[in-house]
Amino acid sequence: MLKTSFYNKKFTLEKVIALLFFLGVFFIPFSSFEGLSFLGEFKKEASFFFFIIVFLLLLIAVLFSQKIRIPFKNPLFFLLLIIVFWFFISTLLNTHNIIHYNFKYTSGVNRFIRQYAVLILSSVILLVTYYNVMSRYTNVEIFNKIRKVFLASLLVVFAYGFMEILIVKFNIKALRSALLLFDYFPFTNVYIDPNGERISSVTYEPPALATYLLTISGWMFSYIITEKGLKRFIPSIMILILALFSGSRSGLIIIGVQVLVFLLLLYNIKKYHQLLLRLATGFAFITLIIGIIKGPEISDYLKEKITSFKIYDSTHAVSNKSRFGIQYALFQVFIDNPISGVGYGQQTYEMIKNLPPWSTYNNWEFKIKYLNPEHPAFPPGYNLFIRILAETGIVGFVLFTSWILFILHTCFSLFKLKNQDSILAMVLLISMAGFIMNWFKMDTIRVFGFWINFALLLILTRNIKFKIDKK
């Protein structure tokens, strides 16, 4: 291993790689800076800068006779490769149409190359990078290290977010100057919602903050099990506070489901029944007190959140019309191309032909952004599962959903073993449940937290022989 001396200490290439990797994990939420446009989808992802350097250093390590581990024999990874391969095949089958596509000065071929590059980077190159770095530690060591890094990043995110809450929600203007100090923090540009409605902390928008929170929620919930005293609840409380004030409707629901999954998993372990009873009692007591004091306000808040999914007479009507209209159009694309779809990355070219009139009527998002040829951003698909149906057909959808179910089943099976890795398996199950639900509102696989968790699952199962239940 390559070594160098610095103040009488030995620094190996392996230690540099590990340091950069954990810095990448720390900076996962940081996306409020301008970014580098030539990086495409990764332009505002601070962690990508660290992870891609780690990958390059791993390649250098190969020159010094260090092997790169690739889990080809793991069926979870092998099925992923099949999915990636089918996405390519489905595109080849649609070449006759793709060569004629053009939207916003972008050809179908160009769009495929960009989108498939993101897929390969996320699901193969960076995944193998995470796997190689983390597999050098024991399962307990990597669990503790990742959790500590997530906690450190949460402290920064919460410090920013809490000041933002006080400014935006409680109109404490005196804190503005203090919040602006975060402009000096790496990869951060301070932004305060002028409408006084939502917070985003160090991320570029409230939904991105919600995605970060659901990424680390399972890890923070685990402190309730492994630590003692009231301090073990603090990370979870910070998660819930930020989720509540983020203004992300679906994010709040997803984290609520993750809390429920956590409680159900605790119920499956007898020694935690007393803890579960205390949590339930404490939650019921706090809910009762808050309900007595703030009952009407809470009722109005819940009513507003429920009605926010309407497409008429709602402050969220425009975004809802865009979301539901695009999803409807994508499903029509699937109906017209049921077997192999229209090709990976090609959803927009066919989707714009199937938009229902009610979705575009009096909708500035389509006029100014989504259908405006001068606006560079392509319209989002808003749902990864419908996107896969439209782009890769029923074959791609069955492969992808089978893989997702395989992941959930494996996490739960590892949790039921009730050994030293059970808590990590529980964290992975809670996290995966959150990521999967989140894919019902977003259409990108570029989710660093998911692939890091999946790499950990590959590590947990590297010495396990998978068997088919013939019952």
pLDDT digits (tens, 9 = 90+) for 257-281: 999 999 999 888 888 888 888 877 8
Same domain assignment for residues 345 and 301: no
Mean pLDDT, rounded, for 24-53: 93
Please enumerate in sequence order all residues whose Cβ is within 8 A of that of 412, keeping only pairs 6 or more positions apart, or say none.
Answer: 425, 429
Same domain assignment for residues 303 and 327: no
Is residue 68 one of the residues assigned to a domain? no
Query: What pLDDT is recorded for position 6?
Result: 38
The yes-or-no verdict on residue 83 having pLDDT over 90 is yes
The yes-or-no verdict on residue 385 having pLDDT over 90 is yes
Please state the φ and ψ torsions of residue 192, each to the nearest 5 degrees: -115, 125
Q: Sorting pLDDT into bands at 50, 70 and 90, what band is 34?
A: confident
Query: What pLDDT is recorded for position 12?
Result: 86
Same domain assignment for residues 322 and 403: yes
Q: Give the range among 61-65, 336-340, 353-357, 421-425 with minimum mean pLDDT.
A: 61-65
- Measure CA 348 to chain center: 22
Q: Sorting pLDDT into bands at 50, 70 and 90, what band is 26?
A: very high
Same domain assignment for residues 291 and 420: no
Is residue 247 one of the residues assigned to a domain? no
Mean pLDDT rounded to a whole number for the chain:
89
Q: Which of 277, 307, 337 is the last residue of a domain?
A: 307
Same domain assignment for residues 426 and 289: no
Q: Give the range among 77-91, 167-181, 425-439 with minimum mean pLDDT.
A: 167-181
The yes-or-no verdict on residue 301 having pLDDT over 70 is no
Query: What pLDDT is recorded for position 405?
Result: 98
pLDDT digits (tens, 9 = 90+) for 203-251: 999 999 999 999 999 999 999 999 998 899 999 999 999 998 887 878 8
Same domain assignment for residues 406 and 439: yes
Cα(224)–Cα(231) distance, integer angstroms:
9
The yes-or-no verdict on residue 189 having pLDDT over 80 is yes
Is residue 259 one of the residues assigned to a domain? no
Is residue 30 one of the residues assigned to a domain? no
Mean pLDDT, rounded, for 103-128: 96
Is residue 412 one of the residues assigned to a domain? yes
Q: Which of 251, 283, 307 is the last residue of a domain?
A: 307
Same domain assignment for residues 273 and 378: no
Same domain assignment for residues 332 and 392: yes
Mean pLDDT, rounded, for 448-470: 86
pLDDT digits (tens, 9 = 90+) for 120-133: 999 999 999 999 99
Q: Which of 282, 307, 332 is the last residue of a domain?
A: 307
Is residue 357 one of the residues assigned to a domain? yes
* Residue 286 lies in domain: 269-307
Both tokens of 371, joined, read: 């259908």
Same domain assignment for residues 361 and 281: no
User: How many structural domains does the chain have?
Assistant: 2
β pairing state of 3-6 and 102-103: unpaired
Q: Which of 386, 433, 385, 448 is nearest to 254 (CA)?
A: 433
Is residue 203 one of the residues assigned to a domain? no
Cα(442)–Cα(435) distance, integer angstroms:
10
The yes-or-no verdict on residue 53 having pLDDT over 80 is yes
Same domain assignment for residues 363 and 298: no
Mean pLDDT, rounded, for 127-148: 97
Question: Residue 379 carries which DSSP code?
Answer: P
Same domain assignment for residues 329 and 447: yes
Q: Which residue has the higher pLDDT, 361 or 28?
A: 28
- Tally of CB atoms within 10 A around 188: 22
The pTM (predicted TM-score) of the whole model is 0.92
Mean pLDDT, rounded, for 184-201: 88
Is residue 11 one of the residues assigned to a domain? no
Mean pLDDT, rounded, for 81-100: 97
Same domain assignment for residues 320 and 469: yes
